[in-house]
Amino acid sequence: MQLTRRQFLAAAAALGAAAIWSRPGFAKSKVAWRECRERYPEGVASGDPNPDSVMLWTRYPSTDPRKRWSLQVEVAEDAAFERVVATGKAKVSIESDWTCRVLIGGLKPAREYWYRFTDNEGNGSRIGRTLTAPEEGDTRPVRFAFVSCQNANMGAQNAYRRMIYEDERAAPEDRLGFVLHLGDFIYEIVWYPEDRPQGMYDRHIRDVVRYAHGEKHGDFHVPTTVDDYRSIYRAYLHDPDLQDARARFPFVPIWDNHEFSWLGWQSLQKFDGQTHPAQTRKVAANQAWFEFHPARVKTTGGSLEWFAPPRVTDTPIDHFDDAGLGQEANNLAALASLTGYRSLRWGRHVELVITDQRSYRSEEPMDRPEAKVFSSKDFPDFIPQEVQEILDAGRSYNHGKPPESIRYGDQQVANFRRETPAQTILGATQKSWFLQQLKASNATWKVWGNTTATLDMRADPQNLPKGLTKPWPGAGYAGFGGGDHSSAYVERAEIYDFVAREGITGFATVAGDRHSFWAGLAAKALPPNAFEPVGVAFVVGSISAPGMVEAIEHGFPKDHPLRPLFLADRQGAAKPEPAVNMLLRHGVRSCLEYAHSGDLAKARAASNPDNAPHLSFVDMGGHGYAVVHASSGMLETEFVCLPRPIERSDREDGGALVYRVRHRVPLWEKGESPRLEQRMLEGDAPFSV
């Protein structure tokens, strides 16, 4: 429903938003604007568009902390600002690190607009481009990109250049409507070049930022204050490709873990196996995220313009409720300071439901020190699936009769989770909201924007030939340690059972975090249990953060008997081949056959069909982005993979493609199972299919 000017301004006032309403017609700009990008060093951005409004952003730093500046904001239907439809003032001050967030209303749906900021002396920002969402009944197809995991400390953001290059050359109806950023916009863990003069993997360390108040753990540094967190955002936004992308597309962002802390959950941090209360840092992280992203998120103070940080202290959390939420007052206040989960609608076909996987989750069971016993150098990365299931379920396992101990080879290990509730990632309140959003939506496609993946990651070491290595200490399949809904079996089953019970069709998940590309079917269980898909799921490779393939190229022992499961060493090849993709897709026999014969056809013929019936594609070394195309009868997701982004490409298109692969799912009816179709459009990924 389109709001009137009065309704919009009233709503904006209630939200505490700086608001500008568009005029009925248009007029030529009267502002003496001249581009002066150095006055706006982090560029411009727009975010969270709806059919009649969008949020705009810039940063205008000052050397005088006592002064509040007022910027002129203009929105036009053309890049020359001959058809200006909205003008107004927006304030910046040191309290918000000189950032500016302004809500523009009264716009037309599904339209392209241009915007800019100008100071009192005529010094102007770069010109930004944005788009509004279509109205709810609009039947036109929707196209959007989703991305995650950009690490400017160790890589280049070439994927954004490719995204912009292709979008500028696309027909208007084939251009992106927005970019969904699924977290790890920054990496709060920073290495200084002197910390790792040898670099990391294939990368050299860039001197991106130095924290004024940070602390050091091992050889990396972490932020401790809001100014530290702000400094890493500023540093990242000096990257030209990221800045260009934010100037061209409206972004819809949500945080993952690195916006706060690598192993953080709720308001807790973990370093060297020790958990520390960090409520002050959680609030600082939330404040910096809010200040640098133009998103319609909720704050404690209820403002879309200013963040009012609650006063908290770093206090131990001693009591957690049955949903795993720490009941300590400072923890609750820190988490409530910023609420990111929300739902956005694009026309008839897409309801985007975004959730926060870090703020409300319970402790990851496999991160507990008691779980280390289930890891073995003889079986790198492998954890028995039954161990993951028992620890995930806690006291609910086996219909409330969990075992007192867990078998691991010849050992019986005490079940340290038998008295605690099942793991949750969403938390009780958010999960209830999420399920109701799915049920209430009448969109063709209900797209779950989940920062972490849902597709099972497993292998079948029970099929290893005798004598190759020590006996596998598990009962059957192996997982890879958890951390997302692939091993939060109880909660994932609850969600998928709800989808099936309510007859929800068009259910799709888009995710990041894994630094790898995945496409598959969403099912709560795999063989030998019943395999009953209720939707489709996709995971995007990282923009620039290193992935598993790069790590094992440098770290997996050359003489380890299981190396062929992860890397295939071919004579004369510059690098080993990523056998781990085949392991996850087809199982151990395929990997061993390929190591023996070098014949891909023979290797695929040795596939274990029960290992991963849910997967169509997996690439544990892929970098790039993904594009979703949603219409009345189908949903397509295209993976665009670029070479390892060690250095910034000097090419206009961001560099040559490794591959472009498309996955298509026709809309299914209630009671039917979804069906994925795959087509390689460019390049090749022989170990991924």
User: What are the pLDDT digits (tens) for 569-587?
Assistant: 998 888 999 999 999 999 9
Residues 597-632 have pLDDT tens digits of: 999 999 999 999 999 999 999 999 999 999 999 999
Q: Which is it for strands 478-479 and 383-384: parallel, antiparallel or unpaired?
A: antiparallel
Lookup: tokens for 97? 């690190």
Residue 332 carries which DSSP code?
A: H
Beta strands in 158-218 (DSSP E): 179-181, 215-217
Cβ pair 633, 666 in contact under 8 A: yes
Residues 537-568 have pLDDT tens digits of: 999 999 999 999 999 999 999 999 999 999 99
> Which of 19-23, 57-61, 202-206 is the least confident region?
19-23
Lookup: tokens for 293? 């992203």
In this predicted structure, what is the pLDDT of residue 5? 65
Q: Report the amino acid identity of residue 127.
A: I
Chain mean pLDDT for the chain: 96
Quick one: average pLDDT of 37-58? 97
Task: Give the model's confidence band at 11: pLDDT under 50 very low, under 70 low, under 90 confident, else very high.
Answer: low
In this predicted structure, what is the pLDDT of residue 63? 78
Beta strands in 309-393 (DSSP E): 338-339, 342-346, 350-355, 383-384
Number of helices (H), then strands (E), in the chain: 15, 35
Residue 1 scores a pLDDT above 80: no
Give residue 589's region: left, alpha or beta (phi > 0; psi -120 to 50): alpha
DSSP 203-237: BPPP-----SS-EEETTEEE--SHHHHHHHHHHHT
Nearest-10 crossing angle of helices 489-501, 428-440:
20
- In 3-state terms the chain splits into helix, strand, coil percentages (rounded to 5) of 25, 25, 50
211 vs 207: CA distance, rounded Å = 11
Cis amide leading into 253 (omega within 30): no
Residue 15 scores a pLDDT above 80: no
